[in-house]
Structures are given as C-alpha cells and as structure tokens.
C-alpha cells in the first residue's frame, strides 16, 4: 500500500502541511534530514494519522504511488538544490517535485529547466498563511506546467483555504516556471507595504492624540469592521491588548523598534526596478525596515537633530478619521502597484497571469487576506485588462472621496516630523499617475544638455538635440 503524497522537511510549516493533507484523507510519507525530528513528529501530532515515517530518500520515494507527488519544505537556497539532488536518483519519469518554500523565482526557473530535461516535473509553489495557514488552509500559488498542476490540483484544492465570499479554494494555476514563486514574492512585497502603512498610521495617532492601548484596540477593532477589514488589522487590534509577563506593561512598548526581514520585500523592489514597474510604497516599506535597523545611529542622531512639536492633540475625531482614510487610500495605491508589477512581469516573462484569479486566491489563507481583495477580484473579473486599479469605477470613487483627509493625514505627519514614507509614497504615486503632465521635460532637457541624449517635442515627431550653451 503506497502513499499518495510525500513531504520533505519537517520544520513547523512542513509538519503543519502534512497534518492538513492527512486530515483531508490523503496518505502521506514524510522524510527529514535529521531523524530525531521525524521521531518527535511521529510520536506527537502525527500519531494515529495516515502518516508514514521514512528514513532515507530511497525509502521515502519507494513508499509513494506513481507519478509521485513530493513537496519540499526546506529553507530557500542551497537546501532546495541539495534535497533535489538527493531525490533525483530514485525518481521516475513524470514524478512531480513541488518546492513550497520562498524560493527566488529565477532559481525556480533554473530548477524547472534542469528537472524537465530529466523528464521530471517541477512546481514552484508559493505558500502563504504562516503556521496557522499551513495547518488549516493556506493560500497556494503554484507555477509549472498545466499538466503537472492538474495532477496535484485535487489535493491542493482540498487543503487550501476557502474564500468566505464564495467558498472557492484559494489555489489556482499561476503560470509556467517561476510564476508561482513570483506571485508569492509580490504577495510578500504587498505584505511589507500593508504592515508599514499600518505602522505609520499607529505612529501618526501616537504622536498626535496618543491613544492608550485600550483605545488603540478599539480604533483598530472598529477599522476591522469596515473597509479596512483584514488579517493584519485584526491582529494589530489584538497586539494592543497583550501585556508583558515580566513588567506588566503593554508588550508592544517593550519590543525593540528594529524590524527584521528575510528578503522577499527586497526582491520585489529589486525585480520591479529591473523590469520597469513602479512600486514606491513597497520600496518605502523596505527602506523603512532598513532605517529602523539602524537603531544605534538613530539614537545618536536624535540627540543632534530635532523636529517640530505636537499641536494636534485636541483634534481627536478628525485625526482618527483622516488616518483611517489615508490608510485605506494608500493601501489601494499599494495594491495597484503590486497588481501592475504582476502585469508587467507577466509580459516580461510570458507568464500569462490572470490578475483577477490571483487576487481571488489571496482572499483567504494568506497574510494579506482582506476585504479589499474581494473588490480587486471583482474589478479584474469585470475588466481583465484593467490598466490600473485606480481606473476601476469603485476604486476611483474610494480614493477620490478620501483624498482630502488622506492629504490632511500626510500633511499632519510632515508638519509634525513623523516619518510617513509609505503613506506619502502612495499619495505621490496617485498624484503622478493622475498627472497628464510631469516635469520630465526638464529631466530630458538636462540629459540633452550634459549628455546629448536628445529629446522629443510636443509639437512634431522626431528626435532633437539643442545646442544648449548657445543663447
């Protein structure tokens, strides 16, 4: 009796995926480099489930039905190559390897080519939702061939999160090669922007009306009941209620203000620049994490450089409403950037992505799940070639109607010297995108002045160069 699914790499994400798969009636084989971890898993949570432990790649592969479906859940980078190399000698034509880690999409492209030349199938699959998602329903972003996807689809649909709106599983075929990992990368870039926008909103409220933790909890809870409803707003509301065991103070106040990062946000910005798609809000979020990590230097600088003083304490209601509007409008702009990055990548790499479908599989399971994604799904379903979310009638109205308070919030941040790079990057994106005229004529003049790079004219076609030094 052979098993229908195999998983290698029993860290928490791997273990939880195995339990999720087994709960849906599939028999699973597991293998982990360190046998001790396999023992622990088997005698703990895996007990009395249709899960078989194996202790060598050979035994693991032999325990699986053909064509084999093998998912790898190890650290991105060399570990993935190492595991593939270990497996390869035991595999047969048509077997499928799924990489469920956060691999860089071009690594996935390379591995796909290598394995396909050996008549094996490879799927690079983004998995989002953290430990909880893996256990009870993640959002899954698989890339590879359609034929290979068809073979894994029943299992993936079974374990994926289901969207609350229509009950559809949050998994869909994304495109060939590295498309799935590309989409996961952009998901994470959007996640960085969401988090930074929320952090700036928190800072803006704190520096103006300084709510107590209970009031912060109330503000975010109320926001979570409206258009901002999302996993990240929901957990933020809860974060304010947690007190520190050691000091009894709010735990948030005891946490060092240095943000970590594993690189997926950085990759998003890097690749966006490579292929020429503007993602200023995401890049602002990456920069903000980097600046936050310079804690010691900032502390030194804070003794030397000073900013303006607070004078908004008595405008409570106005400030809270403005920050809420700014957060929502900024979030729309950040999603507009992320979706257009996908659109650009789809052209660049020939992924043939369906943006509406991608938005739809982010509606549940993943970290950026939000009410907003229902509206984005709808916008692309009604017009699949939508040039920008801001041009959809619903989003146009959402942003236009919040414009005044959005500007008030950003202006307040600037007046008070509160860094709000992501909120303002979104606003600048909106202002640039809606501008029929940008000062790039001056850029062209400068380029032509110092480098004879030439320019075009507004009144005739052709390429021109001026002798600038001649009056």
Between 32 and 201, whose beta carbon lies closer to ligand 2AM?
32
Rounded to a whole number of angstroms, the minimum distance from the CB of residue 112 to ligand 2AM is 20
Query: Following DSSP, what letter does each residue of 98-159 receive, concatenated?
Result: EE-S---HHHHHHHHHHHHHTT-EEEEEEEESHHHHHHH--EEEEES-HHHHHHHHHHHHHH
50 binds ligand 2AM (CB under 6 A): no
* Known binding positions for NADP(+): 9-14, 32-34, 74-76, 102
Residue 9 or 419: the one with the smaller Cβ distance to ligand 2AM is 9
88/407 with CB nearer ligand 2AM: 88
What is the distance between the alpha carbons of residues 331 and 339, in angstroms, rounded to a whole number?
12
Q: Which residues are registered as beta bridge partners of 125? A: 142
Query: Pick from 69, 429, 191: which is nearest to 183 by CA?
Result: 191
DSSP 166-193: T--BSB---BSTTHHHHHHHHHHHHHHH
Rg (C-alpha) for the chain, rounded Å, is 25
- The residue among 74 and 373 lying less far from ligand 2AM, judged by its C-beta, is 74
CB of 26 to ligand 2AM, least distance (A): 20
Residue 212 makes CB contacts below 8 A (sequence gap 6+) with: none
For position 370 contacting ligand 2AM by CB under 6 A, the verdict is no
Shortest Å distance, C-beta 191 to ligand 2AM:
21
From 285, 122, 129, select the one nearest 197 (Cα to Cα): 285
The residue among 75 and 113 lying less far from ligand 2AM, judged by its C-beta, is: 75
How far apart, in whole angstroms, are the C-alpha atoms of residue 342 and residue 307? 39
We find the least distance from the C-beta atom of residue 41 to ligand 2AM, in angstroms, to be: 10
CA 329, 368, 293, 423: dihedral to nearest 10 degrees?
0
Closer to ligand 2AM at the Cβ: 101 or 129? 101
Contacting residue, 4, 23, 33, 76, with ligand 2AM by CB under 6 A = 33
Q: Segment near ligand 2AM (CB under 6 A), from 9-17, 232-240, 309-317, 455-463?
A: 9-17
242 catalytic per annotation: no
Cβ neighbors of 194 (< 8 A, separation 6 or more) are: 230, 232, 331, 334, 368, 370
57 binds ligand 2AM, rule: CB under 6 A = no
Q: Which residues are annotated as a binding site?
A: 9-14, 32-34, 74-76, 102, 128-130, 187-188, 192, 262, 289, 447, 453
Catalytic residue among 184, 266, 331, 343: 184
CA atoms of 79 and 98, how far apart (whole Å): 14
Q: Kindly state the tokens that stand for 305.
A: 């450089």
Active-site residue, from 86, 109, 146, 191: 191
Q: Which residue among 45, 58, 76, 79 contacts ligand 2AM (CB under 6 A)?
A: 79
Options 17, 19, 46, 74; binder of ligand 2AM; rule CB under 6 A: 74
Q: How far is the CB of 33 from ligand 2AM (least distance, A)?
A: 3
34 contributes a contact to ligand 2AM by CB under 6 A? yes
184 is an active site residue: yes
> Per CB under 6 A, does 32 bind ligand 2AM?
yes
Widest pairwise Cα distance in the chain: 88
DSSP percent split of the chain into helix, strand, coil, nearest 5 = 55, 10, 35
- Polymer length of the chain: 471
Q: Which is nearer to ligand 2AM, 30 or 120 (CB)?
A: 30
Cβ 262 to ligand 2AM shortest distance, Å:
13
344 near 336, Cβ under 8 Å?
no
Strand partners, 52: 29
Q: What CA–CA distance (Å, rounded) separates 233 from 194?
A: 9
The verdict on 44 binding ligand 2AM (CB under 6 A) reads: no
Q: How far is the CB of 103 from ligand 2AM (least distance, A)?
A: 13
Q: Site for ligand 2AM (CB under 6 A): which residue of 11, 76, 151, 251?
A: 11
Binding letters toward ligand 2AM, positions 277-316, x by CB under 6 A: ----------------------------------------
The catalytic residues are 184, 191
Instruction: Give the interface with ligand 2AM as residue ranges (CB under 6 A).
Output: 9-11, 32-34, 37, 74-75, 79, 82-83
């Amino acid at each position: 009796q052979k098993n229908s699914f195999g998983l290698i790499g029993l860290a928490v994400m791997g273990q939880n995926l195995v339990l999720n798969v087994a709960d849906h009636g599939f028999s699973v084989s597991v293998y982990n480099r360190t046998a001790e971890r396999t023992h622990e898993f088997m005698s703990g949570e895996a007990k009395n489930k249709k899960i078989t432990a194996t202790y060598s790649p050979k035994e693991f592969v032999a325990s699986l039905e053909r064509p084999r479906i093998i998912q790898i859940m190890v650290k991105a980078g060399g570990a993935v190559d190492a595991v593939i190399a270990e497996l390869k000698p035991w595999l047969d034509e048509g077997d499928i390897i799924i990489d469920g880690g956060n691999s860089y999409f071009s690594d996935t492209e390379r591995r796909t080519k290598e394995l396909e030349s050996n008549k094996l199938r490879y799927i690079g699959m983004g998995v989002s939702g953290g430990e909880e998602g893996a256990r009870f329903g993640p959002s899954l972003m698989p890339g590879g061939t359609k034929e290979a996807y068809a073979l894994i689809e029943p299992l993936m649909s079974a374990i994926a999160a289901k969207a609350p709106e229509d009950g559809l599983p949050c998994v869909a075929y994304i495109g060939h090669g590295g498309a799935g990992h590309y989409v996961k990368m952009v998901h994470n870039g959007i996640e960085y922007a969401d988090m930074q926008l929320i952090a700036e909103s928190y800072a803006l409220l704190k520096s103006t009306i300084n709510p107590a933790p209970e009031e912060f909890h109330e503000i975010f809870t109320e926001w979570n009941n409206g258009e901002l409803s999302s996993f990240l707003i929901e957990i933020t509301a809860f974060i304010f209620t947690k007190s520190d065991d050691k000091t009894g103070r709010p735990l948030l106040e005891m946490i060092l203000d240095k943000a970590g990062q594993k690189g997926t946000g950085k990759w998003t910005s890097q690749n966006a620049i490579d292929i020429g798609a503007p993602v200023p809000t995401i890049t602002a979020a990456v920069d903000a994490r980097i600046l936050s990590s310079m804690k010691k230097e900032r502390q030194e600088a804070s003794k030397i450089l000073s900013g303006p003083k607070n004078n908004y304490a008595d405008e409570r209601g106005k400030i809270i409403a403005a920050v809420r509007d700014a957060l929502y409008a900024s979030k729309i702009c950040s999603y507009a950037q992320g979706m257009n990055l996908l659109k650009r990548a789809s052209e660049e790499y020939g992924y043939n992505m369906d943006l509406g479908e991608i938005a739809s599989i982010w509606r549940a399971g993943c970290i950026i799940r939000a009410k907003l994604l229902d509206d984005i799904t709808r916008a692309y379903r009604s017009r699949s070639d939508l040039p920008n979310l801001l041009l959809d009638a619903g989003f146009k109205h959402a942003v236009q109607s919040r414009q005044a308070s959005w500007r008030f919030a950003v202006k307040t941040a600037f007046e008070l010297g509160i860094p709000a790079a992501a909120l303002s990057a979104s606003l600048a994106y909106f202002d640039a995108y809606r501008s029929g005229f940008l000062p790039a004529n001056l850029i062209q003049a400068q380029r032509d002045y110092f480098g004879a790079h030439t320019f075009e004219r507004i009144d005739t076609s052709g390429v021109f160069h001026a002798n600038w030094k001649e009056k």
